[in-house]
Structure 1
Amino acid sequence: MINDSDLDSIDWSSMGHAYGRADDVPTWLRNMVSPDPEVRERAFGKFYSAAHHQGDVYPCTTASLPFLFAMADDPAAPDRASVVELLVSIGSEAAERVDGIWMAPDGTESTAGADSSALIRERGEAFVAYASDPDTLVRGAAIPGLGLFLDDAERAAAVLRDRLKAETGITERLLVIETMADLALRLPAAQAPAQEWLGALADDVTTDPDIRLAALVQRAHCVSQGIDADTVPTAIALLRRITPEPEPVTDPVTDPVTEPVAESGDDEERRGNASGPCTCATEPAPASDVPPHIAAAFADLERHGRAHAPTTRLLITFHAALGGRIADRTALLTEQLRSPDHATRYDAIGMAKSLIGSWRGDHTHLVGLLADCLSTRDAFTTAAAAEALGSLGTGLAEPAREALAAYVAEHRVTHRPDAWASPHPLPRRAHQEAVLALAGLGDERALPGLLTALDTGTDAYRAVNAAGRLPQCAAELAPRLILRLAEADYTREWPVISPPALMSALAKLGDPAAVPALADAVRGAVRHKQTCGAAPALDALASFGTRAAAALDVVRPLADADDVTLRMAAIRALWELERGPEDVVPRLKRVLDEAGHHDTYAVLDVLARVGPPAAPVLPRLRRMVSEATVRHPGDAWILVHGAPALWEIGGEAEADLVVRSLLTAWDANGSTADRVVACLDRMGRSAAPAVPRIQAALAGPGRRDDGDPWGRSADQDEELLRTGRAILARFGLARTEGKGGPTGSAGGWSGPVGRVHGPVRR
């Protein structure tokens, strides 16, 4: 147990953690062994959030290690499994941060990562003892440490082989196999014996199928080159052998549940229908001090981090090992999404979404399987499937359109006509997700749900953005959004319904009846000194162009506002409403003289909208783009805002510099690809020098460019592909479909490539 005198001998105040000085760390360590479970739980939570914040390792974290080991070594200590788990977490994170530098409160540098890693490795043998502890929870927490902290590869592999023989629980046995793979990936000396052992387990027909599947997956995880044509079919066969039969459950519409539910028979009397009131149970009221959209956001985070099937973690590893082998992964997901086990089906939805969102290809089959998961008898799975479909965007989700519409219509009949506002949380969420996905496709069959939201106020914040996707329904939606905007409270920091969201939706609907309400919104936001509300309202007015000219008396005074962001939004609106370059261009030049980077981007975008009448700024603009082209990569965003302005104002005479600057930005920062390709498309045949770069971007199997840390959404990447193909078609280049190699990549481009290198004209 902890020695208090040793604990008090440390100068904790000289150290810090994520939230300040570390004086409170010894209290947390003492409370970790409290006889009160709630005290222990709070102590662990505070240590994780401060002394091990998001995986960080501080000097106080290192100083805590001897005391944590003392707790783990003491059989009488409570929650030893939690202590061992904390040690493993610190050790694994420290190993990844050994080169990191932490600044102490006195400004000195600290090598806490390297110090913690070295200390835990010195105690590596302790994890051998923990991994054979009589307490199953302690063993489960310790097993990963055998792969992380034992530096003798032969010794570690032998211990793991022995543990597999000794363990009887499937969870622990699977963990041993996973740890062997981690060991092989960490220590080169362990690779050959680990792969041989995993291969023998995978091929042994006398071994339990779950162990064989784990060994097969972990071998692929260690050596992806070893994946062959038989790997996935073998995995599917093993998965079928271990898939449990679905358990009978109660009807999810009448009995609230929080986990995936199997399909069950209809029971119209209990379910409720369109002819009478719903009889299903209501959810408990949320805490009065927690806004519903905040509570929903946290519920989403908790839900998305949960796995329901015992094979889920293993299959996620398998998909990662398969990478860009699209055909193999699609075959595996087909098995998962058609599994008789509802938990397996549910967890497969996220994996399918990840595949479609990360890799290019024809995913029609997978989208169809996601659509098959829509069922009025399984609200939990339906919500996840509909959410996944809604995230894919218009093009990719199109094959699911009719299934979404059919589900929404059926649910309104079998449950209640105002299903969006159901008092039962699961059917309500499922219905809402399906309506939102349908609205994302621009389908007016989503309208009844959105009207229910806006009329009743039930989760209306979720309907606002979707409303903007249905301009054909503006006559019904715009008045409701206008009413909500008129009720906006600009004194609240986090309103339930965001005024900027309402403004954006009204702009997308395009109904000029919104202009007076938007002008009033500008006045209200300015009156309450809310630039974050006034600027979006001005942008919304700008979207109406000269149809919003009646609002000029509101816009014009703000074009001289002290706040540069507000002034810039007003100038942008002034141009769109009046189209007077003699007034706007001098204002843009003045903002350019004093603007920071983001305001500079805004100026450049408006200059591009003004076009040739902005010729007086052309020399300065040309100089700015030329200098940024030399200074990249830090100026990539200046380039993708400045080069389009240079093209729109100067035209063909600036084509060479525009293309060079766009390609420079693209190479420096893959996140700029969308803007780059959009400008190249507008340049027509003057974009010829960029053709090889576009060909290379479209040929890759993945949706992420090199140099793009965030990647593009599937919808953004599909738009990039459409625009890029249109540019190449302009030069007579046709896409050739290949048979696909191990990564599933297909073909390239053929055509008179040489001709694009000659003289071109706009």
Structure 2
Amino acid sequence: MFNGLHDIDWSSMDHAYGSAEEVPALLPAFRSPDAGERSEALSRFYSAVHHQGDVYPCTAASLPFLFELAGDAETPDRAAVVKLLVSIGSIAVERCEEVYGHPSGYADTAAIVRDRAEEIVGFASDADPRVRRAAIPGLGLFVDDADRAADVLRGRLPAESWVAQRLLVVEAMATLALRRPEVAGDAMEWLDELAADPVLDPGTRLAAVVHRARCAPERIGEDVVPAALGLLREAARVTVPAETWADPPRRTAPAVPADGVPPQVVAAFEDLDRHGRVHAPTTELLRTLHEVLEGRTPQRTHLLAEQLRTPDPGSRLDALRMSADLMKSWRGDHTALIRLVAEQLGATDPQVTAEAAAVLEACHPIAEPAREELAAHVAAQRAAHGADVWAAPQPQLRRAHQKAVRALARLGDTRALPSLLTALDGGVDGWRAVEVAGALPQAAGQLVPRLCDRLRRVDVTQEWSEMSARALLSALAALGDATTAVPAVTETLEQAVRHERWHLTCSALAALKEFGSAAAPARETVRALTSASDAHVKPAAVAALWAVGGDREEVMPLLHDLLDDSITFRIGDAADMLGEIGPPAAAALPRLRELLAHGYDWVRVHCAAALWDIGGEAEAGTVLDVLLQAWTRNPSTANHVMACLDGMGHAAQPALPLLRAQLALPRRGGRFASIDHDEELQRTGRAVIGRLVGATA
């Protein structure tokens, strides 16, 4: 099987983490009798040789050996090997025509899987159902003869009794139709026949409806969602054994984090793992339907309502995540969906309750309609399980309570405070309370002393400690109790400088900046950092010095130096500060005008905004040209551009067409296209449009 493995010069090839010389050890490990060794080898192969779906020359060189492993009945976990093969081949076929930086890669890999497509056909009819499930997607991708591929798929459907394989056969036919126009008409006709066949099981018919829509999304009619809903209801009445569609349970990581790894990092990986799980056989199918429907928010909400009302907890769990995906990615009135999610807080399944709370926290900028349900849920949990429910030993109960409390806190509701104080006073997951404490400035008197105490106990010399300290500094800055907080923040700043923790230094400076003149006792410490060599520290120190001292004569030379810097974020930071100074910073106008020709969009945007703040009406035409061009070229600048337009008054009139066009887009936009930045963008945009239209009425 491994003849020739060591004849390949693996050391001459690279994978995601460097030399590929480890590959000859990974491949034989796939045949190890030890399940742990096999799992570790497969995980390493995915992470390095097939990193994030990428394909390298060493990946192509591995394929012949993977095919041999997959074809040998003595290979344990053959299904996992076939799944890996299909994953590699799928990416290669999709991208083989793209420019690729390696000497060989996608094109070579695609050629290999196409040459050996008949082996994939064989795997798709294997006696092992898991091998068949892994292989079937390849039938729509690797068989060069499109008619042959279509015939194989048509024959495969009646031969399959397991629902997962049947759904995959239908999906593969749609994939084939999208790739090969010569068979698209016949394939779509076949899908129509399946959808209308009353003898077929509802899951297969639902798959036919969904993938028929996928083949021609521009022709989706009003009948698609009602048809899918009817079949979904039928499918919900059929019990599908988990062993026929779900992957075997994975080995879970130890509950106790490894030494030195902060709980925030552990939690992030747990969330990633949780998001990747599937709990119902129709989940991937319904995700496909949601993707095809795109911005048809009312139809998708109608579909999600049905999903959230199904009696199966797994289906509702997956539907909650789809609800979050819709609200995070697409604009619209999501009030009804928020309320549907909030209803799940009363679910009897603790995992569903926890996920509903997590969705409301993730979508907190639009979660106002769920405020009372969240508050009632938090109160009920405390009444039923005691004041220490934040630290409950049952993982799902603890997660549900913490997520609900955090969602309520992010809404600025002090009914979250008792649980936050419990967390800050206890030893369990206090960091989760810190992250949302800043949203409750009305409770600063109770929160700030606790946060300061935590900040003073952070050992900045320890690895990862900056993560906790920076979160505490951010919360203190948001709460605004300078009298109590400034001494603790200043102490942290001094320790950070002493131990050259520059990211933490910047966070402490940013907090002092928020306190403004109330942070005057720290002025000398801040001033000393304006000559720091670290690229980030100097602009942060200058910004804090201006906020704390307000001495224009002192900061102007420093800002002029930053404007002449070659580092783009330093230029942007300096421009922002000059804009804050306003007309008295007129000496910077010539340099700001020069920087409007800079090659980086963000530099031009920051300098244009400063130009307006300093020069006013006389600069309006130039400023608008720069801002609107940058917004068009780089949509991530939208929030910054909009903030400037908001301050320009009637001078922003020429921007009206672009404002209307941007706010009419169905997808979320703004910085990172995140829900919070997009909601802010829409609010400000509507206000600007209202003023401009009112001014011309």
Same fold (TM over 0.5): yes
AA paired with 1:680? L
For 1:297 and 1:120, locate their aligned partners in 2 and report how far apart those are by CA, in whole Å.
36
Separation in 2 of the partners of 1:483 and 1:404?
Answer: 29
Q: For the residues of structure 1 that align with 2:274 and 2:213, how far apart are their CA atoms?
A: 29
Q: 1:120 aligns with which of 113, 132, 147?
A: 113
1:285 is displaced (CA, Å) by 4.8
Measured at CA, do residues 287 and 582 of structure 1 come closer, stay the same or move farther in structure 2, by a change above 3 Å? closer
SS in 1 for 2:232: helix
SS of the residue corresponding to residue 310 of structure 1 reads coil
Q: Deviations over 1:236-272 (max 9, x none)?
A: 111111114899xxxxxxxxxx99xxxxxxxxxxxxx
Larger mean Cα displacement after TM superposition, 218-227 or 687-696: 218-227
C-alpha change, 1:563 and 1:126, in structure 2 (3 Å) is closer
User: How far apart in 2 are the matches of 1:732 and 1:53?
Assistant: 52
Per-residue deviation, residues 271-310 of structure 1 (Å, max 9, x unmatched): xxxxxxxxxxxx9655555433222222111111111111
2:161 equivalent to 1:168: yes
CA distance, structure 2, for counterparts of residue 72 and residue 529 of structure 1: 53
Is 1:715 aligned to 2:686, yes or no? no
State the match for 1:614 in structure 2.
585
CA contact (8 A) 1:510 1:544 kept: yes
Aligned to 2:174: 181
Mapped partners of 2:332, 2:154: distance in 1: 41
Partner of residue 415, structure 2: 445
The aligned runs of 1:723-742 (5 Å cut-off) are 723-732=684-693
Q: Secondary structure at the match of 1:442?
A: coil
Q: Please say if 1:363 is aligned against 2:334.
A: yes
In structure 2, the residue matched to 1:42 is 40
- AA partner of residue 660 (structure 2): Q
Aligned in 2, Cα 1:246/1:190: closer, same or farther, shift over 3 Å? closer
For residue 117 of structure 1, report the CA deviation from its aligned partner.
Answer: 0.3
Q: Distance in 2 between matches of 1:79 and 1:482?
A: 53
Q: Look up the match of 1:143.
A: 136
Change (3 A) 1:287 1:24: closer
The Cα offsets for residues 125-172 of structure 1, whole Å up to 9 and x where unpaired, read as: 222221112221221111111111012111111110100011111111
Shift of 1:62: 1.6
Match of 2:455, SS?
Answer: helix
Cα 1:599–1:446, aligned 2, differ >3 Å: closer, same or farther?
A: same
CA–CA distance in 1 between the matches of 2:624 and 2:337? 38
Match of 2:444 in 1: 474
Cα gap change, 1:415 to 1:89, in 2 (>3 Å): same
Per-residue deviation, 1:7: 2.2
Q: 1:14 to 1:454 in 2, by over 3 A?
A: same
The corresponding residue for 1:399 is 369
Retained in 1: the 8 A contact 2:526–2:545? yes
Deviation, 1:418, is: 2.0
SS at match of 2:673: coil
Q: Determine helix, strand or coil for the equivalent of 1:308.
A: coil
* 1:20 partnered with 2:28: no
Cα distance, 1:25–1:288 mapped onto 2, change above 3 Å = closer
Structure 1: distance between partners of 2:463 and 2:37: 34
The match for 1:372 among 330, 333, 343 is 343
Please give the residue correspondences for 1:456-467 in structure 2 after superposition, counting only pairs within 5 Å: 456-467=426-437
Deviations 1:583-626 (A, max 9, x none): 1111211233335111111111111111111111111111212x
List aligned pairs for 1:15-94, cutoff 5 A: 15-94=13-92
> CA-to-partner distance for each residue in 1:629-688, whole Å, 9 max, x for gaps?
xx4xxx110022111111111111111111111111101100000100111001111111
Identify the residue that residue 657 of structure 1 maps to in structure 2: 622
Question: Structure 1 413/614 Cα, relative in aligned 2: closer, same or farther at 3 Å?
Answer: same
Q: Does the aligned pair in 1 maintain the 2:438–2:474 contact within 8 Å?
A: yes
Equivalents in 2 of 1:546, 1:23: separation in Å? 59
| Partner Cα distance (1:485, 1:8) in 2 | 55
CA contact (8 A) 2:387 2:422 kept: no
Deviation at 1:51, TM superposition (A): 1.9
- Note if 1:599 corresponds to 2:597: no
- Number of the residue aligned with 1:386: 357
Q: Secondary structure at the match of 2:355?
A: helix
Question: Does the Cα contact within 8 Å between 2:30 and 2:75 map onto a contact in 1?
Answer: no
**Shift of residue 101 of structure 1?**
5.8
Give the superposition deviation at 1:355: 1.2
Normalised by the length of structure 2, the TM-score is 0.94
Secondary structure class of the residue paired with 1:457: coil
| Distance in structure 1 (CA, Å) of the matches to 2:533 and 2:62 | 52
- Identify which range, 412-421 or 396-405, moves more after superposition: 412-421
Q: CA offset at residue 18 of structure 1? A: 2.2
Q: How far did residue 479 of structure 1 move? A: 0.6
Q: Show the counterpart of 1:241.
A: 234
Answer whether contact 1:99 1:111 (CA < 8 A) is retained.
no
Is the 1:291–1:496 Cα contact (8 Å) retained in structure 2?
A: no
Letter of the 1:222 partner, please give it.
C
Give 1:432 deviation, angstroms.
0.4
Percent of aligned pairs sharing the same letter: 52
1:693 to 2:691 alignment? no
Q: Deviation per CA, 1:321-361, whole angstroms, max 9, x where unpaired?
A: 11121221111111111112211111111111111122221
Give the 3-state SS of the residue equivalent to 1:23 in structure 2: coil
SS of corresponding position for 1:498 = helix
CA distance in 2, matches of 1:571, 1:711: 27
Q: Matched residues in 1 for 2:604 and 2:45: separation?
A: 45
CA contact (8 A) 2:649 2:692 kept: no
In structure 2, the gaps of 5 or more residues are: 241-248
Paired residue for 2:552? Answer: 581
Q: Residue 317 of structure 1 aligns with which residue?
A: 288
User: Cα distance 1:376–1:119, how it changes in 2: closer, same or farther (>3 A)?
Assistant: closer
> CA 1:291 to 1:548, structure 2 compared with 1: closer, same or farther past 3 Å?
closer
Alignment-mate amino acid for residue 582 of structure 1: E
1:154 to 125, 128, 147: 147
In structure 2, relative to structure 1, the CA distance for the partners of 1:219 and 1:546 (3 Å cut) is: same
After TM superposition, the structure 1 = structure 2 runs for residues 503-514 of structure 1, keeping only pairs within 5 Å, are 503-512=473-482, 513-514=484-485
1:644 is aligned to 609
What is aligned with 2:395?
A: 425
SS at match of 1:544: helix
Separation of aligned partners in 1, 2:642 and 2:466: 37
Instruction: Determine if contact 1:72/1:83 at 8 Å carries over to the other structure.
Output: yes
SS of residue paired to 1:418: helix
Does the CA-based 8 Å contact 1:245-1:340 persist in structure 2?
Answer: no
How many positions carry a matched residue from both structures?
A: 685
The one-letter code sitting in structure 1 at the alignment partner of 2:400 is: A
CA distance in 2 between partners of 1:3 and 1:643 (Å):
63
Residue-by-residue CA offset, 1:205-261 (whole Å, 9 max, x unaligned)? 2221111111111111111133222211111111111114899xxxxxxxxxx99xx
Report the CA distance between 1:12 and its aligned residue: 2.4
C-alpha deviations, 1:441-468, integer Å up to 9, x for none?
Answer: 0001110111011111311111112110
Q: Is the 8 A contact 1:698 1:721 kept in 2?
A: yes
Partner of 2:198: 205
What TM-score, normalized by structure 1, do the two folds share?
0.86
| Separation in structure 2 between the aligned mates of residue 442 and residue 610 of structure 1, nearest angstrom | 32
Partners of 1:712 and 1:68 in 2: CA distance:
40
Task: Give me the whole-angstrom Cα distance separating, in 2, the residues matched to 1:399 and 1:566.
Answer: 42
SS of aligned partner of 1:134: coil
1:677 aligns with 2:646: no
**Which amino acid in 2 is paired with 1:320?**
E
Please tell me whether the aligned partners of residues 496 and 505 of structure 2 are also in contact (alpha carbons under 8 angstroms): yes
